[in-house]
Structure 1
């Protein structure tokens, strides 16, 4: 079974002549314990085209030291990575294979680099003997196993913060090392340095060209969403907070962009992809929608005076929530492990590298993108006007839900156009987001009322009073009414954000 650890570390350049300064002069350090030298032997795996390295992931099988086994490191921020560890075995453990699947897809993992290190370890301890950080001086020998045949060697210093330590402590250590002439490493990891120094040629990527055409701008947004979907896959599998929501949003943004910019991307190629993105979004929504509903109902109940909570309301809500969410995460992981999702990932990779551009994609961005944004506004206007003309009730609720979908699509169109169209597109996206939120709050109330009615029916059938469920229903009904009264004002601001109409362009 794999376990995870948040790794916060910094790396520094060193030579065989580098001498460590007196680290007890670092604030908070009372003693430095020397643990001696250990020999580490690690083989790093990647696809032949180095997809993991391109996204700053490292996957290795290491022997020697106290943590021999398989290690997968996922980037979190500069100098911060999550390390997922699994016991030593000949084959890559299934759990780690799942976490790299969105990058690897159907390609084979091959050994690309072997690193053998002599690690001299020092533990920096506080006055009470608590470890504050581990500092190691590593003498590294790297051998290219695939895509090259060169070898290289270097010495580096690595300082890793102890679990639950204060990252500011690393600043104090760095200051002390700096006084001794030790400088930060230019390489983010041993693997990246080994790949750079054993490359048979220039493996560096050319800096991305500045978007100029309509196609450039649309593709930049499309690639951003594809990157998000792929990068969030491991977080969803690990059950990290907000990962499902963020992956679902990226899926919706991408699908919406493919539908909106049909003058730029050939719909005969993108429509089938859009259907698969809709499927993935629905699968991601199973657990997310229930999570939002649970939070809303529990919040309402928690805020209600206890004197008005009659019967086993808390227990019934908890049992109902658990029953609806039971197994949803396992279902989602099964979807991510399935053949249909793998095919979608391959299609996304193809869209990134060989987009089906139409002739309009080569033109200047202004007119093409502005027309698409305006068209989204026009679609939204029709739905909003229709919804606001209807009397309160289920028909109006459905119409407002349709308007919400149109608001999202118009907002995403403006977001994609923002780098080209500037401030007007930014203001449009901001105001459309406010409208989307207002419509979302209304829809959440509709869904909550449906759930509360079902819970009241269950309570009544079990011989329980439905008094509290009725009060909660009334609160949601009042909230929906307040939301509907605010909608015309929010919509009026969004209308003014249609810069094409306002400017007459």
Structure 2
């Protein structure tokens, strides 16, 4: 069953599945958009961005079957919105999860920067551009699938092709894991993220008990790769805080301390990555079970 409540089966046309997923993403975005516009609760910006990421991922997963100017335009607008919401979410995660014992001066600058980022997100989510995007997305999600589509490609057939391709790409990118550069690890992280979304969206077509452990393995591997990427994210956040600091706010030393903290644990993160990679390699491909 899709997140929208529509039951997906092996016979479901890929286009119908995409429209159902788009409807679910739109509903989630509308829900959390209201929280962003009316409060400072972090869940609003976090989940609004998740909804946009899910939507963009769905367009990517189903692109081999559903690719037209309207889909590309909707994907581009979702990317723009996610970019406007991203800085607020990234800063909050950094200050509350990536580092601890944040010095008062950094908290003060961070709070000021967070307020600016929140206003940027609110401006985008409250804009006429957003309203136009929402109307187009509603029309896309609600458009009925024609008879010629219903009698065509099935979701299980489509799913095997997509999952085979994305799984193979991850395996190729992960070869010689211990020798991969930072850029290669980033590409592997993007690959596993795309595979995770594909597996999540397409698993209803197979009704296999192997789907859950496979998806869980992709989640763990993505998390391990994300932890290795924390240093890059931290460097960007620290640079933003330094730029936002006023002359009277001496943040140089506190930021150096936080930079060392964010970069610590590299060996531990590498070991976790190696472990999760081995687990992923062993898990059964549910679409071929």
2:139 pairs with 1:346: no
2:175 to 366, 374, 385: 385
Compared with structure 1, are the counterparts of its residues 487 and 344 closer, same or farther at alpha carbon in structure 2 (3 Å cutoff)?
same
2:70 pairs with 1:280: no
- Conservation of the 8 A alpha-carbon contact between 2:163 and 2:195: yes
User: Comparing both structures, which one devotes a greater share of its residues to helix?
Assistant: 2
Compared with structure 1, are the counterparts of its residues 427 and 268 closer, same or farther at alpha carbon in structure 2 (3 Å cutoff)?
farther
Larger Rg: 1
Shift of 1:336: 1.7
Compared with structure 1, are the counterparts of its residues 466 and 277 closer, same or farther at alpha carbon in structure 2 (3 Å cutoff)?
closer
- Conservation of the 8 A alpha-carbon contact between 1:264 and 1:361: no
2:12 to 173, 190, 213: 213
In structure 1, what is the equivalent of residue 112 of structure 2?
323
- Conservation of the 8 A alpha-carbon contact between 1:286 and 1:328: yes
In structure 2, what is the equivalent of residue 473 of structure 1?
259
In structure 2, what is the equivalent of residue 271 of structure 1?
72
2:193 pairs with 1:421: no
Compared with structure 1, are the counterparts of its residues 232 and 472 closer, same or farther at alpha carbon in structure 2 (3 Å cutoff)?
closer
**Alpha-carbon distance between aligned partners in 2 of 1:353 and 1:457, rounded to the nearest angstrom:** 45
The TM-score with structure 1 as length reference comes to 0.49
2:189 pairs with 1:404: yes
- Conservation of the 8 A alpha-carbon contact between 1:258 and 1:267: no
What SS does structure 1 have at the residue aligned with 2:63? Answer: coil
**Alpha-carbon distance between aligned partners in 1 of 2:64 and 2:150, rounded to the nearest angstrom:** 6
The count of aligned residue pairs is: 279
Q: Unmatched 5+ residue regions in structure 2?
A: none
**Alpha-carbon distance between aligned partners in 2 of 1:264 and 1:347, rounded to the nearest angstrom:** 20
**Alpha-carbon distance between aligned partners in 2 of 1:494 and 1:356, rounded to the nearest angstrom:** 36
Which of the pair has the greater relative contact order for Cα pairs under 8 Å at 6+ separation? 2
Shift of 1:452: 4.9
**Alpha-carbon distance between aligned partners in 2 of 1:371 and 1:441, rounded to the nearest angstrom:** 30
- Conservation of the 8 A alpha-carbon contact between 1:408 and 1:436: yes
In structure 1, what is the equivalent of residue 126 of structure 2?
337
Compared with structure 1, are the counterparts of its residues 467 and 248 closer, same or farther at alpha carbon in structure 2 (3 Å cutoff)?
closer
Shift of 1:250: 1.4
2:101 to 297, 301, 305: 301
Shift of 1:242: 0.9
Compared with structure 1, are the counterparts of its residues 290 and 453 closer, same or farther at alpha carbon in structure 2 (3 Å cutoff)?
closer
In structure 1, what is the equivalent of residue 216 of structure 2?
430
**Alpha-carbon distance between aligned partners in 2 of 1:477 and 1:353, rounded to the nearest angstrom:** 47
**Post-superposition CA distance 1:360-385 (Å, at most 9, x none):** 88333222112212222223333333
In structure 1, what is the equivalent of residue 280 of structure 2?
494
Shift of 1:288: 0.4
Question: What are the within-5 Å matches in structure 2 for residues 52-131 of structure 1?
Answer: none
Shift of 1:234: 1.1
**Post-superposition CA distance 1:320-364 (Å, at most 9, x none):** 313322322222222122122112111111211226888588333
In structure 2, what is the equivalent of residue 236 of structure 1?
36
Q: Unmatched 5+ residue regions in structure 1?
A: 1-206, 303-313, 391-395
2:161 pairs with 1:371: yes
**Alpha-carbon distance between aligned partners in 2 of 1:337 and 1:458, rounded to the nearest angstrom:** 25
**Post-superposition CA distance 1:181-212 (Å, at most 9, x none):** xxxxxxxxxxxxxxxxxxxxxxxxxx966644
- Conservation of the 8 A alpha-carbon contact between 2:13 and 2:149: no
User: Comparing both structures, which one devotes a greater share of its residues to strand?
Assistant: 1
**Post-superposition CA distance 1:263-305 (Å, at most 9, x none):** 33234431221111111111111210111111146x4226xxx
Shift of 1:445: 2.9
Shift of 1:236: 1.9
